[in-house]
Amino acid sequence: MILAVVYIAIELVKKNLLQFVSRWNRLYYIGLLGIIAPVALENKAGPETLRWITNIGVLFLLAPLVVEAGTLFKAKQT
């Protein structure tokens, strides 16, 4: 959970400081929803459903990070 909060803080700072925002950052918001949704659905959904939503949210949070790391790695090689 601490890593998620740190990642969210980095994304918010990056969004405010950089003028260029990658199209992959939209996935970040889906990931945030996936992290927050289990709290809102705590009494309405079963544990398996909450775990599934959280896992999907984590994938969407990691997708922009992986794509940006790949882009930086490619840029360093050229």
What local confidence, expressed as pLDDT, does residue 39 receive? Answer: 77
- State the total domains in the chain: 1
**What residues make up the domain containing 47?**
2-77
Cα dihedral 21, 24, 29, 32, rounded to 10, equals -120
Q: Within the chain, where are the H helices?
A: 2-17, 25-40, 47-77
pTM: 0.61
Q: What are phi and psi of 52, to 5 degrees?
A: -65, -45
Distance CA 5, CA 14 (A): 14
Q: Residue 55 pLDDT > 70, yes or no?
A: yes
CA atoms within 13 A on the CB side of 41: 16
Instruction: Examine the pLDDT at 6 and tell me if it is beyond 70.
Output: yes
What pLDDT, on a 0 to 100 scale, did the predictor assign at position 21? Answer: 65
Read off the pLDDT of each residue in 13-41 and give the average, rounded to a whole number.
74
